[in-house]
Structure 1
Amino acid sequence: MNKLTGPLAEVAQADQVERKIAPSLERRRLRAYALLILSDAILLNLAFALASLIYEGEWWQARNMLVVQTILPVYFTIALYNESYGGKALSNWIFAAKQALTALLISAALLNFVAFYTKSNAQFSRVSVTLGLIIAAAALLALRRLMPVLVERFWGGRTLNRLIIADGGPHFTLSKAVTIAAQKYGLDPASHDPFMLDRLGRLLQNQDKVVVSCPTERRQAWAFLLKSAGVYGEIVSEPAHALGASDVHRYEGQGRTTLVVSTGPLGLRSRISKRLFDITVAATALIVLSPVLIFTAVRIKLDDGGPVLFIQRRLGRGNQFFNMFKFRSMRVEQNDANGDTSTAREDDRITPIGKFIRRTSIDELPQLINVLRGDMSIVGPRPHALGSRANNKFFWEVDAQYWRRHCLKPGLTGLAQVRGHRGATEQEKDLTDRLQSDLEYISRWSLRRDLEIVFKTVLVLRHDNAY
């Protein structure tokens, strides 16, 4: 029988590592972006109102305000796509000013282009509009210059979490970065111990950039782990610096170059849209399906008086553990906490009501709570129990690429499931088929594809392999 590097009974070992060594800056940055957007809207309106007062003697003159209301949607569209509201804009005021002024200039040019062809130029005062643009540009420039000062004052100048993992490689430092020793935390990139991976996932949580300094022979293993964790990762490389390699990051001050080996599967906008999709679908489903949830809970309780929910530790995003909720479908004394034994057809551990809710996938519905908590997504690679096996091998022993599927949050449903890859993993192919679908989903993610998978899931709720 194969055994884990660390025994399953020592799951608590992973909890000894601090949940996160870096605060979540994403909400902080989102608030800053929202403040910038609101401030830009106010400043542009005030700029054109002031221009009309200076030139025409009338505050908030209607023609001028119509111009700014026309410019604003175009300005925000361009600004959102040219990173005027990105992380770099919070710390580099010259970059931020350049992007904002570019968005304003293009917006004004498009407005003039449309006005020319619709013959509406005569309705506007050229002097007043030009003066409004000049005042708006000055205001945007002043605001961008002020932002780094505010960031330094209230956030200590920190807009990004950066972590350096020292694993026996050349000395490397980075401003405002946290440095940890791999040995201190028992981090071994060559190990497939899920407890070690959970510790690493906790350390990488909320990190915007991770730099690893390690010997040459360990770089490939670290590159694989960083990809699996779904973070932006770099590896220090002295030869790359000596060769003057491109597509790398060069830190001239200390004569070091890092190789970019992973970037995470989704950008900020994609993560926001996916999370909004998750919350909307999960909240709606919980409300609509509440009669089914209540009836099922009551039926399970009346069946044998045991707990309604079965809570099992699963592997989630960044190879971190989380507690997944399901309606209990097995007898209390025969619950398999670690998933060591796959469920078989006519499994005598399953209760009468359990057979029905497993066959119809109702047992999975409590995972909607996991989605609202942020442990899971509506669509993503399905989370597996730690003791799951295929052909008497742990999943990561069948294919080491298995860990890469954890760079996204696990899903209530997924591409593998709608393709029919469900049920027990008796053969290695049962696992590799699912893994192939999961990696395909990660590499080609889109919100449209999530919608397609949700609709297709409805058609396969009942399946021959659902038992």
Structure 2
Amino acid sequence: MTDISQPSLAAAALGATARSNTPRILSPAAEKIAALPVMPALSPIVLAGIVRMIDFGAIIVLGFALYAVYVVPTYGVMWQYVPAILAIAVLTILAFQSADIYHVTAFRSPVGQVIRLVPAWTIVMFLAITIVFFARLEQMFSRVWLVALYVAGVVLLVSLRLALATLVRHWTKEGRLDRRAVVVGGGPAGGKLIEALGAQQDSDVHVIGLFDDRGDDRAPVDVAGFTKLGSVDDLIEFARRTRVDLVLFSLPFTAESRLLQMLRKLWVLPVDIRLAAHLHGLRLRPRAYSYIGNLPMMDVYDKPITDWDVVMKNVFDRVVGALLLLALSPIMMIVAIAIKLDSKGPVFFRQKRYGFNNELIEVFKFRSMYTDQCDPTASKLVTKNDSRVTRVGAFIRKTSIDELPQLINVVFKGNLSLVGPRPHALHAKAEDRLYDEAVDGYFARHRVKPGITGWAQINGWRGETDTSEKIVRRVEHDLYYIENWSVVFDLYILARTPFALAKSENAY
């Protein structure tokens, strides 16, 4: 079978025939599902991590509270309690991990959690008391404190788990802990996959639709209780209107050309893509698969920047963005005054651009053109000595100071990152062709939030895109960034940005 890795598909897509981004008209059934309100997803991995931190913090707070209330007034300050409390907290988290209570399925069952939690906590405290006894540390640690910590710990930890179970059941009803999945490929194989998914116990996968690349004359309309919602092209539009977390292919491995053709379309979406392996005779080592319950899957694409990576990037953006906004505020005030003195009109210019998953966002910029000649959709590229640009505008565009208000988007609106693919205006063109017409697979760069600066910009691919090659190179750099993201990479790009701006020969 041909290699279906992400880089090979990306390269193929960049050279394929162009497609327009004109919104498609979906079938009535697909429109109905897409119109339903959907809550944002919560990452089970992040939720489990937060619960661990809450448990750890609760034990620390409880231990020091009992220490302050009983030990200090009775025996005075005794510093040996500090490492003891920390050690008990660490051992508790390890014990709870061994008891397998840090996953969403366990969170949903308060009785099951308590049955496992109390013995684990008992073992930890029994171990602590045993160490104190056999190491002859009775004079260093109060037995009353140890017993009080055990009893109060049971009450506190059980109370937290009951509250957690209530929250998790609420989030489950809202669908925030489900992975919304679509199946691609109808017929018997699609039906078997849907039935197998439905038979899974405690699965977080919720099938919301079925799509097929074949017409109704070649594929059944109804499969395993699901009505076909449309073609693979319809799926792209569907996933932009509603939350889709997972795409599952039920096609056989032998349908190689069909599979590759569909993957070249779907890789632009910020979703996980899996190929069902349980329907085929091919058997590999268990570690070669990922699993949904006990169903083996072949991983094709993973959604970029997920789980804790999302948290880290959001915290990085908000904290560093706020610091930059504070540090640069004097410059921004001077620029605002200069704009008002130079020409009539508002200081800020708001422009619609494509954001994450092609959603329309409004970004802030300093106004650099005369008010009556502003171009909100960027239907005409700004060129050298452009008569529409004001005197102040020419300077702030050349130095990219006009982009500084986008820190407002980063810090307050959250629809931009500090680093990421640049958000392009709706009608931006290269050689009189829209960007998505000049570069097929262009919208794959929207699988992450756009940024104020990016890998393409610091490598010289910023400013005017008067040729298709320039936008192709920009997209290539954006895709490299998406596949290789890290906080260190973001820091490197931010550090390089001022030096890249000094080489501003392509910016007008």
Distance (Å, rounded) in 2 between the aligned partners of 1:151 and 1:26: 12
- Residue equivalent to 1:375: 415
Does the 8 A contact of 1:229 with 1:407 survive in 2? yes
Cα gap change, 1:97 to 1:23, in 2 (>3 Å): farther
Q: Equivalent residues in 2 for 1:376-395 (5 A)?
A: 376-395=416-435
How many residues align structurally? Answer: 442
Give the AA of the match of 1:460. A
1:210 aligns with 2:246: yes
Cα gap change, 1:423 to 1:152, in 2 (>3 Å): closer
Does the 8 A contact of 1:189 with 1:218 survive in 2? no
1:279 aligns with 2:318: yes
Equivalent of residue 150 in structure 1, options 150, 163, 166: 166
The more displaced of 271-280 and 71-80 is 71-80
Deviation of residue 283 (structure 1)?
A: 1.6
SS state of the match for residue 342, structure 1? Answer: coil
Deviation of residue 436 (structure 1)?
A: 2.4
- Residue equivalent to 1:70: 86
What is the alpha-carbon root mean square deviation over aligned residues? 5.1
Deviation of residue 131 (structure 1)?
A: 8.5
Equivalent of residue 234 in structure 1, options 274, 285, 296: 274
Equivalent of residue 38 in structure 1, options 54, 61, 85: 54
The more displaced of 60-69 and 242-251 is 60-69
SS state of the match for residue 242, structure 2? Answer: helix
Deviation of residue 147 (structure 1)?
A: 7.0
Distance (Å, rounded) in 2 between the aligned partners of 1:335 and 1:272: 37
For structure 2, the 5+ residue unaligned runs are 1-17, 25-30, 68-73, 213-226
Q: Equivalent residues in 2 for 1:158-307 (5 A)?
A: 160-166=177-183, 169=186, 170-171=190-191, 172=194, 174=198, 177=206, 179-180=208-209, 188-190=231-233, 200-204=239-243, 209-212=245-248, 219-220=259-260, 223-224=263-264, 227-236=267-276, 239-240=279-280, 242-244=281-283, 246=286, 247-249=289-291, 258-307=297-346
Does the 8 A contact of 1:20 with 1:202 survive in 2? no
Give the AA of the match of 1:464. E
Cα gap change, 1:257 to 1:164, in 2 (>3 Å): same
Does the 8 A contact of 2:453 with 2:494 survive in 1? yes
> Cα deviation per residue 1:306-365 (whole Å; 9 max; x = unaligned)?
233322222222222212221222233333332232221112221222101101111111
SS state of the match for residue 208, structure 2? Answer: strand
Does the 8 A contact of 1:198 with 1:319 survive in 2? no
Distance (Å, rounded) in 1 between the aligned partners of 2:85 and 2:354: 49
Does the 8 A contact of 1:329 with 1:358 survive in 2? yes
The more displaced of 404-413 and 320-329 is 320-329
SS state of the match for residue 229, structure 1? Answer: coil
Q: Equivalent residues in 2 for 1:344-423 (5 A)?
A: 344-372=383-411, 373-423=413-463
> Cα deviation per residue 1:248-306 (whole Å; 9 max; x = unaligned)?
43566xxx654433322223222112111111222222222223323333433443322
- Residue equivalent to 1:449: 489
SS state of the match for residue 243, structure 1? Answer: coil
Cα gap change, 1:188 to 1:314, in 2 (>3 Å): farther
The more displaced of 395-404 and 324-333 is 395-404
Give the AA of the match of 1:210. L
The more displaced of 265-274 and 293-302 is 293-302
Does the 8 A contact of 1:96 with 1:144 survive in 2? no
The more displaced of 436-445 and 414-423 is 436-445
Distance (Å, rounded) in 1 between the aligned partners of 2:157 and 2:92: 16
- Residue equivalent to 1:11: none
SS state of the match for residue 26, structure 1? Answer: coil
Distance (Å, rounded) in 2 between the aligned partners of 1:120 and 1:264: 55
Cα gap change, 1:120 to 1:410, in 2 (>3 Å): farther
SS state of the match for residue 368, structure 1? Answer: helix
Distance (Å, rounded) in 1 between the aligned partners of 2:97 and 2:496: 32
Q: Which structure would you say has the larger RCO, counting Cα contacts within 8 Å and 6 or more residues apart?
A: 2
> Cα deviation per residue 1:30-84 (whole Å; 9 max; x = unaligned)?
6885465334443477689999xxxxxx999958843532316755997999997
Cα gap change, 1:300 to 1:414, in 2 (>3 Å): same
The more displaced of 434-443 and 131-140 is 131-140
Distance (Å, rounded) in 2 between the aligned partners of 1:87 and 1:308: 49
1:309 aligns with 2:348: yes
Length-normalised TM-score, structure 2? 0.68
Give the AA of the match of 1:333. D
SS state of the match for residue 363, structure 2? Answer: strand
1:466 aligns with 2:487: no
The more displaced of 453-462 and 212-221 is 212-221
1:336 aligns with 2:372: no
Distance (Å, rounded) in 2 between the aligned partners of 1:349 and 1:80: 65
Distance (Å, rounded) in 2 between the aligned partners of 1:70 and 1:308: 54
Length-normalised TM-score, structure 1? 0.73
Cα gap change, 1:237 to 1:465, in 2 (>3 Å): same
Does the 8 A contact of 2:356 with 2:446 survive in 1? yes
- Residue equivalent to 1:323: 362
Does the 8 A contact of 1:84 with 1:96 survive in 2? no
> Cα deviation per residue 1:143-183 (whole Å; 9 max; x = unaligned)?
79757743565445655132233555223255672614659
